[in-house]
Amino acid sequence: MRISKIGCLLVFELLCVASTGVINAADTPATVVLRGARVVTVDPNRPEVTAVAIGGTRIVAVGSDESMAVWIGPKTRIIECRGRTVVPGFIEGHAHFTSLGHSKLQLDLSTASSWDEIIRMVAAAAKSTPGGSWIVGRGWHQGKWREPPLSNVEGYPDTLELSRAVPDHPVLLTHGTGHMVLANERAMHLAGISAESPSPPGGEILKAGDGRPIGVFRETAARPLYRALEHFQKGRTPEQITTDQRAAIKEAVAECLKYGVTTLHDAGTSLSEVDLFKELAEREELPVRLWVMLNDVNDVLATNLDRYRMIGAYDNHLTVRGIKRMIDGALGTHGAWMLEPYDDLPTSRGLNTTSLQQLKQSAELAIRHDYQLCVHAIGDRANREVLTVMEQTFQAHPEKTDLRWRIEHAQHLNPVDIPRFKKLGVIASMQGNHATSDGPFVVQRLGEWRSRTGAYAWRSLLDSGATVINGTDAPVETLNPLDSFYASVTRKLADGIEFFPEQRMTRTEALTSYTRNAAYAGFEEQFKGTITVGKLADLVVLSHDILTVPDSELKRAQVDYTIIDGRILFVRE
């Protein structure tokens, strides 16, 4: 062995590699070497180096450019980084993989600046869609409109005009948050909704003064519409269904690679979707790693959890060990379950969408079958109730430790509940860019005190010792981790105003929330989340040094290379 010449640091590394059983010495040349970089490893033992060597799917060496010489053979691909920054592959902590793909194939209403514009967009789409077929869109947000629609209820549009413009196609338009839909008359008719339809538990049908539904549906009230759409979609041949799903997944993969997302935590997946992921992974058509939270009713989960539990299957491309639940709705649609009424809707404290009884059953299932419970909670009441359900479940099972259960969003917290995350070991799975996209209406909804003391309070959570992870909830927001990173460290809204900047993360904390902490949240910190010898070679090369450039330049940072399993899967043109 030539290691004596190379120095004790490398000896240490080689020992590490040997102990993980990867590659024994530099006798086997690296497949890829990145050098001339500022490598931010997120590994506290060795935070910064200039070069990384990859052997197959693993990192085999980190160090100086000079130390790479022994790793370079005739077939080694060398990437000259020319001072660019290399970070661990981003781990998206909470997104919706297939929905993200489908959203790329649907009518995108996220840039519409008025209700009239949306009507025009749908009418244009109708021209190229066969009569009777559904027109599906998503991403609208009344908060982005220049003015409220002429005819509205609580600021949401009466869809009468849409029904006149598009009479022959059922239309279903999902809100940017996913917690509300707009439908035209044709769609409401197919879903069996009339003036007599009552609002269901956990949902609301908005009605005009005369009792006519205006075509706006909150939370569970949207279910009949989705069922009608599903009924139509079931009319497709099985081949068509699979083709559509595959097309969506292809879009989602492309989106991940473009933005440097090497692992995605899929927040609510059906069993049949997992079957499809398995099929794709089997054929090596799933380059991005998925960490899955199953979403199905308790009875179905009870009989399937053991069969579907999967850790690092297909060379660490598919893990299923989470259960997803939703206890409330979103702030944007007044669906977040609050302790006190909304400032701008004093008759409402929001909605509880899953009963505590059902949630307790889910918690029992999770703890008995070794799954992590991941509960969507936005409002302060929702967060308090979920923490209590988790606490009671932990107390009932003292033999189970290190569970890493998660609250997804943890968006509005009463200050009393903030220390409970650390105390219970519950992870706060937050989304940096929710703070800045909601920012313009948070104070209007919640008033100054609730906004200041507990809205997107990641600084307070970190200071209390809690683990915070990051993400985008794509397709609710764009998947770009650098957007969420920017929001996490600046809390700057589009107009430049800072939204309670005292809750900012440092740049290092934000990077950690997207890498090492997210790996921990999935029980994957042993082989992901830092650039460390022996770990998976998932890396991203960035155009800008996101740890040091001024805020204004941070916005321009882009992903230049995405590397997964040591393979270069994306190069920016």
Q: With CB under 5 A as the contact rule, which of the stretches 264-272, 278-286, 300-308, 416-424 interacts with Zn ion?
A: 264-272
55 vs 178 by CB, closer to Zn ion: 178
- What letter does residue 103 receive in the DSSP assignment? H
The rounded Cα 251 to chain-centroid distance in angstroms is 16
- What letter does residue 535 receive in the DSSP assignment? S
Q: How many Cβ atoms are within 10 Å of 309's Cβ, its own excluded?
A: 14
CB of 27 to Zn ion, least distance (A): 47
216 vs 264 by CB, closer to Zn ion: 264
Restricted to residues 321-380, the positions that interact with Zn ion (CB under 5 A) are none
CB of 446 to Zn ion, least distance (A): 20
Strand spans (E) along 189-273: 203-207, 213-219, 261-269
3-state secondary structure of 145: coil
Member of 51, 193, 267, 487 binding Zn ion (CB under 5 A): 267
Q: With CB under 5 A as the contact rule, which of the stretches 47-55, 262-270, 282-290, 389-397 interacts with Zn ion?
A: 262-270
**Residue 82 contacts by C-beta under 8 Å, 6 or more apart in sequence?**
36
CB of 267 to Zn ion, least distance (A): 5
337 vs 570 by CB, closer to Zn ion: 337
Number of residues binding to Zn ion, judged by CB under 5 A: 2
Rule CB under 5 A: say whether 438 interacts with Zn ion. Answer: no
CB of 113 to Zn ion, least distance (A): 25
Q: Answer whether 37's CB lies under 8 Å from 84's CB.
A: yes
Report the alpha-carbon angle 11-524-455, nearest 5: 125
**Residue 259 contacts by C-beta under 8 Å, 6 or more apart in sequence?**
90, 479, 480, 481, 482, 559
- Measured distance CA(382)–CA(351) in Å, rounded: 9
Query: Token pair 């030539």 is at which residue?
Result: 2
Site mask for Zn ion (CB under 5 A), range 444-483, x = bound: -----------------------------x----------
376 vs 535 by CB, closer to Zn ion: 376
Q: How many Cβ atoms are within 10 Å of 310's Cβ, its own excluded?
A: 16
119 vs 410 by CB, closer to Zn ion: 410
CB of 81 to Zn ion, least distance (A): 34
Rule CB under 5 A: say whether 524 interacts with Zn ion. Answer: no
Residue 239 main-chain phi, psi, to 5 deg: -65, -45
**Residue 387 contacts by C-beta under 8 Å, 6 or more apart in sequence?**
407, 417, 420, 421, 424, 426
380 vs 473 by CB, closer to Zn ion: 473
- Measured distance CA(181)–CA(377) in Å, rounded: 20
Q: With CB under 5 A as the contact rule, which of the stretches 51-59, 136-144, 266-274, 461-469 interacts with Zn ion?
A: 266-274
- What letter does residue 340 receive in the DSSP assignment? S
Rule CB under 5 A: say whether 417 interacts with Zn ion. Answer: no
Restricted to residues 213-242, the positions that interact with Zn ion (CB under 5 A) are none
204 vs 473 by CB, closer to Zn ion: 473
Q: With CB under 5 A as the contact rule, which of the stretches 40-48, 73-81, 259-267, 534-542 interacts with Zn ion?
A: 259-267
Task: List contacts with Zn ion (CB under 5 A).
Answer: 267, 473
